[in-house]
Amino acid sequence: MCVLEYSVNSLLDSGTPARATDRYTHMTRPQPTHRWIAHMDLDAFFTSCEQREHPEYQGRPVVVGALPGHRGVVAAASYEARKFGIHSAMPISEASRRCPDAVFLRPDMEKYRRISRQIFQLLETMAPVVEAASIDEAYLDVSGLEKLLGSPATIGHDIKQRILAATGLTVSVGIGPNRLIAKLGSEYHKPDGLTVVPPEQVLDFLAPMPVANLRGLGRQTQKVFKRLGIRTVEQLRTVPLPRLEQHLGNKAAASFHNQAFGIASDQVMPGQGRKSISKETTFEADIGDNAILHDALRRLAAEVASTARHEGLAGTVVALKIRFEGFETHTRQHKRRTPTCDERTILKTAWQLFLDGKLPKKPVRLIGVGISGWEQDQPAQADLFELPDHQQDNQQLLQTIDAVTEKFGKHLLQVGISRKTGK
């Protein structure tokens, strides 16, 4: 693999403002392929928006979130702030201690959404299919555009240049034969990077990566991989699928096995925002002990809630999934009047669904929980950064859990309710 530095204007005579150089990682000369998927990820989006509108902030550490002296957490940190070890979900008191001279700002979600809409409108003029992954990420299907727009590398540079010209913001772009490679490519050289990985170089691209880079790899799976001596994707490939299944279960084993060989979806679907967030676990043996089931459900509810808060979502529908011997599966759900991203509420609702007497009284093979039915108008995430005093006790606990989880991993802190009553 070679890393080359190209002048942007030598590749694209677009007449638009550009940086002196634009980092471009190219595995080898791309060969014709039927699918080219691009992933665009805006660099430190919230803080970059603030630095764009306030030139005096450029080059300085900027932290968006709660203000020092208040209870709350970091929502986003500029790359200058990250040099001090500041990261999202960190308590604002710790961020202030690490860099007291940083610029601390409250989130302006309406501004960020406005700039995001501008960027997505631009992307829709550049590719026939665009899928919003979040407020600052998108997948684009650029297959077949080579004759019209040039090579995938040229298309990637064009995406970066046009966004820079229109908004003054930099983005990192990854392009590959599927969503997984595109996403890993956009992460490969941040900020302001471009990585193109043609199909014949996918295995070489993945081989030296730590397995932690793969999608869906949680703390418990990392422990399993460490116990098996698996640290890189190349090492993961050497483990037979049946052995992985013994340690991870069939679904997770298949997922990581496929990722290790670069196998993933190449479908980009517009308007396909996340419909739900769910987690489930399959037991090695059927479980009839409610204490074990409750503990498993508590961990799953915590993961679902943490994901929802991270993505600024709150759901009105809580769902419980139960599977018995012979793949007999039941799904129950409850619609709440108000949306939630609190694991205690999710756990309480799911456990009440379990206890209501409408499920068979049999040992459980699989248990899962999820939320959906998003509140559209007010993103939950914005409210978590700083709250009025009468709301802060509850949210402070959630912020603390998120901060500890971010630093030390899942399940160190958990909330609970009574197994007997669901309260």
User: Is there a catalytic annotation at residue 137?
Assistant: yes
Q: How far apart are CA 346 and CA 343, in angstroms?
A: 5
**What's the rounded Cα separation, in Å, for the pair 10 and 214?**
34
Q: From CA 394, how far away is CA 19, in angstroms rounded?
A: 45
3-state secondary structure of 417: coil
Distance CA 248, CA 270 (A): 33
C-alpha–C-alpha distance, residues 276 and 319, integer Å: 10
What does the alpha-carbon distance between residue 189 and residue 195 come to, in Å, rounded to a whole number?
7
Rounded Cα distance, 168 and 165, in Å: 6
Query: Nearest-CA neighbor of 150 among 139, 161, 138?
Result: 161
CA proximity to 179, closest of 296, 349, 320, 36: 36
Give the span between the Cα atoms of 80 and 129, in whole angstroms.
34
DSSP state of 327: G
Cβ-based neighbours of 382, under 8 Å, separated by 6 or more: 107, 109, 312
Element (H, E) at 96: helix 92-98
Catalytic residue chosen out of the listed positions 137, 146, 280, 406: 137
Enter the tokens of residue 312. Answer: 């600024």
Around 298, how many Cα atoms within 13 Å sit in the side-chain half-sphere? 17
- How far CA 143 is from CA of 26, 42, 136, 147, 276, in Å, comes to 18, 22, 22, 10, 28
* 145 close to 155: Cβ distance less than 8 angstroms: yes
Other beta carbons less than 10 A from residue 372's beta carbon: 17
Categorise residue 249: left if φ over 0, alpha if ψ from -120 to 50, beta otherwise. left
Asked whether the beta carbons of 119 and 42 are under 8 A apart, the reply is: yes
Q: Catalytic positions, please? A: 137
